[in-house]
Amino acid sequence: MEIGLVCAFATAACYGVGSVLQAVAARRTAATEGLDPRLMLRLARSWLYLVGLALDGLGFALTLVAVQSLPLFVVQAVVASFLAITAVLGAVFLHMPLSRRDWVGLAVVISGLVLVGLSAAEDSRVTAGRWVQWGVLVACVLLAALAPVFGRMTGAASAAALGGVAGLAFGATSVAARMLPDGLAISHPWTSLRLLATSPTTYALAVAGTVALLAYSTALQRSTVTVATAPLVVGETIAPALVGITLLGDRPREGWAWAAVLGFALAVGGAVGMARHGEIEDVVTDQEPDRRAV
């Protein structure tokens, strides 16, 4: 369980730095109309985006470890603290002073994480039935169908809607990762590949990851990072937590349910309150010339 907590906090650190780099790259790349997959190709020309994407990949790998030993509500609450990490990084490296409200937000997030951590129990999950796995894949496909609809909208409404879709898609990757087949091992690559190829969760991971990256990158171009990130945090934390509790056997320690609920609410609420720190890229942009892709 301790290793799982370390991996969850390391994931939050990766996402905190990666989100800043991706936000900078998205703002410096020519805006798109609708949900255009070619945006990912243009972003791939930016080393900032590629580094941010690599950090996301590392964070996801750490999540795979965390969700094997911790309930999803614990992992997702810790991951949501990436915005607090972004705020601290901005204060230390970009001289963006924290206001009194920011310090309160940090205290709320930290208090929530302490309660969630204390309530965490060893994983007592149940094996997800095949119908649950197919249900996750269907949900991911529905998100893929919904994203272009929101992509045709404009302004802050589009950014918020796409941010919400991205959050649900990111959350779906955690749920799918939790449901990956047993028996995967590097020492048995062919067996592992066969298990992955026949599991609906493998395809759910691919669909959800693609939708999340494209929807969030587009949302960052439509409005402020705050508007795009706040619904993302809500979507990627609450939905997986509910799935874990209702379908995957997630439970807090005996007698600590109150701490789990209160801590989760404080951590997520505090993170949403600090969403404005995604605007950190405005400072970076002011220091460097604009290089928009053509």
CA-closest candidate to residue 229, choices 34, 44, 14, 82: 82
**Could you tell me which of 78, 115, 114, 61 has the C-alpha nearest to residue 240?**
78
Neighbours of 277 (CB within 10 A): 27
Res 221: pLDDT: 77
Residue 291's pLDDT is what?
Answer: 39
CA contacts within 13 A on the Cβ side of 171: 28
**Position 140 in a domain:** yes
Residue 174's domain comprises 2-287
Q: What is the mean pLDDT of residues 41-70?
A: 86
**Lowest-confidence range among 31-40, 146-155, 243-252?**
31-40
Q: Helices 72-79 and 47-66 sit at what angle, rounded to 10 degrees?
A: 150
Of 274 and 197, the one with more pLDDT = 197
Query: Is 292 domain-assigned?
Result: no
Give me the pLDDT at residue 293, please. 37
291 conformational bin, left if phi > 0, alpha if psi -120 to 50, beta if neither: beta
Write the pLDDT tens digit of every residue in 174-187: 899 888 887 666 77
Phi (first) and psi of residue 275, to 5 degrees: -60, -25
Q: Over 90: is that where the pLDDT of 137 sits? A: yes
Q: Which residue has the higher pLDDT, 191 or 137?
A: 137
| Residue 251 covered by a domain | yes
Span 45-67, mean pLDDT?
88
pLDDT at 132 over 80: yes
| pLDDT(201) > 90 | yes
- Please tell me the distance from the alpha carbon of residue 266 to that of residue 273, in angstroms, as a whole number: 10
Q: Is residue 293 part of a domain?
A: no
- Confidence band, pLDDT 50/70/90 cuts, at residue 126: low
How far from 40 is each of 36, 68, 180, CA to CA, in Å? 8, 31, 27
- Asked if residue 294 is part of any domain, the answer here is no
**Of 87-91, 148-152, 176-180, 251-255, which range is least confident?**
87-91
pLDDT bucket at 80, cuts 50 / 70 / 90: confident
| pLDDT of 118 above 80 | yes
Give the model's confidence band at 96: pLDDT under 50 very low, under 70 low, under 90 confident, else very high.
Answer: low
Tally of structural domains, the chain: 1
Asked whether the beta carbons of 171 and 239 are under 8 A apart, the reply is yes
Sign for the pseudo-dihedral over CA of 17, 23, 28, 34? positive
